[in-house]
Amino acid sequence: DQPLRAHAEARGKFIGTALSTSPLANETAYRNIAATEFNQITPENAMKWDATEPNQNQFNWSGADAIVNFATQNNQQIHGHTLVWHSQTPAWVQNLGADAMRTAMRNHIAQVAGRYASNPTLVSWDVVNEVFDDNGNMRNSFWYQRLGDTYIADAFRAAKAADPDARLCINDYNVEGINAKSTAMYNLVRSLRAQNVPVDCVGFQGHLSTQYGFPSQVQQNVQRFADLGVQVRFTEIDIRMLTPRTAAKDTQQATYYRDIVNACLAVTQCAGITIWGFTDKYSWVPETFPSEGAALIYDENYAQKPSYTAVHNAL
Ligand code: XIL
């Protein structure tokens, strides 16, 4: 049968996966599935600040370049992740005063986005990630504490200067359905665009759990953002369950995957769906959410799960 990417291409959408550098270097099965099934790649960690600029003005491109080269060889697009975030950012950044922090942010964006600006494989960036709390207030991160919310517009302008052709996204979790957080994000995107800040894409991470139910009004939520004139995308889908797996839980998970794919297909401006990895062998879920796991579409032995079939059949 045809791989996922063939079905997605026929629909005019991407189907992507996050990739991790170590299995990419070391495991043939991992490389083969990543190359065959997906037409879009997001580096899971290799482009984050702690990986790319561990010390001020000392850049390390080894992981980022390895993933970009893999994607180029396999005719895949890269979504860069992520330029400005409160997590996985070195202490040296967090300890800077306001002026130095703003300068360091602009320099980081210029260097990292600038490195791939002329590379046709890298087409988009998460410029800022997770700027909200779940109640819709701005997250009280070190960015916000030092710079207020001005760092957000500043980051988008710096990214536009570094890579004028890239699509520039704001990305968050728990914003898939209509709720206080997604409404805050909607108001921010609308206000930024009214000020000509170059945000032209909204990413909905989609770290879901069968324990907490499918978010409400996903298609309507994504559509309201699209109606602002931005591209929308699901950026980090995984659907965890209380372990161990059972046939019933697998079936329920498969319906969640199906419903995310269908929400994207129903919205013209939805560019595609990225799954946060593909094999349960390397998912971040078990070490992050106690007692949960089995969130992806292949099991630990690279066998396709019912969720693979659900994505395949929906596309
Ligand atoms: C996660 C990675 O999957 C882990 O390997 C890492 O240890 C922590 O970060 N939201 C994001 C992603 O935007 O960057 C996170 O990725 C998952 C939550």
Residues designated catalytic? 130, 236
Query: How many Å lie between the centroid of ligand 1 and the Cα of residue 277?
Result: 11
pLDDT score, position 204: 99
Q: Ligand 1 atom 16: the closest Cα is on which residue?
A: 44
**pLDDT digits over 106-152, tens only?**
999 999 999 999 999 999 999 999 999 999 999 999 999 999 999 99
- 47-71 average pLDDT score: 98
CA of 287, closest atom in ligand 1: 7
At position 257, the amino acid (one-letter code) is Y
| Fold classification of 4-314 (topology level) | TIM Barrel (3.20.20)
Ligand 1 binding pocket (C-beta < 6 A) is 44-45, 129, 205, 236, 284
Mean pLDDT of the chain: 98
Taking alpha carbons only, the member of 84, 89, 95 closest to residue 146 is 95
Q: Is 196 exposed, middle or buried (0-12, 13-18, 19+ CB in 10 A)?
A: exposed
Q: Is the peptide bond before 244 cis (omega within 30 degrees of 0)?
A: yes
Domain ranges of the chain: 4-314
Choose one of 284, 288, 289 to mutate for the ligand 1 pocket test, by most ligand atoms within 8 angstroms of C-beta.
284
Percentage of the residues of the chain whose pLDDT score is greater than 70: 100
Q: What confidence score (pLDDT) does residue 79 get?
A: 99
From the CA of 308, how far away is ligand 1's center (Å)? 22
The contacts of residue 84 (CB under 8 Å, 6+ apart) are 105, 108, 109, 127, 128, 129, 143, 151, 155
Complex-level ipTM: 0.99
User: Residue 236: its pLDDT value, please?
Assistant: 99
Q: Determine the atom of ligand 1 nearest the C-alpha atom of 207.
A: 18
The answer to whether the CB of 70 falls within 8 A of the CB of 38 is no
Q: Which of 19, 20, 24, 45 to mutate to test the pocket of ligand 1 (most atoms within 8 A of CB)?
A: 45
Q: In whole angstroms, what separates CA 54 from the centre of its chain?
A: 21
Neighbours of 249 (CB within 10 A): 18
**Which residue has 């890298």 as its token pair?**
122
Closest CA to 257 of 201, 291, 306, 192: 306
Q: How confident is the model at residue 165 (pLDDT cuts 50, 70, 90)?
A: very high
State in Å: Cα 288 to ligand 1 middle.
9
277 CA: nearest ligand 1 atom: 3
Residues 86-107, mean pLDDT to the nearest whole number: 98
Q: What is the pLDDT of residue 117?
A: 98
Of the candidates 228, 212, 124, 110, the residue with the CA atom closest to the CA atom of residue 171: 124
Q: Which residue, judged by its Cα, is nearest atom 9 of ligand 1?
A: 45
Q: Are 302 and 279 in contact (CB under 8 A)?
A: yes
**What pLDDT digit, counting tens, does each position of 298-312 carry?**
999 999 999 999 999
Ligand 1 centroid–CA 150 distance in Å is 25
The pLDDT score that the predictor gives to residue 54 is: 98
Instruction: Work out the pLDDT band at 92, boundaries 50, 70, 90.
Output: very high
**194 C-alpha to center of ligand 1: Å?**
31
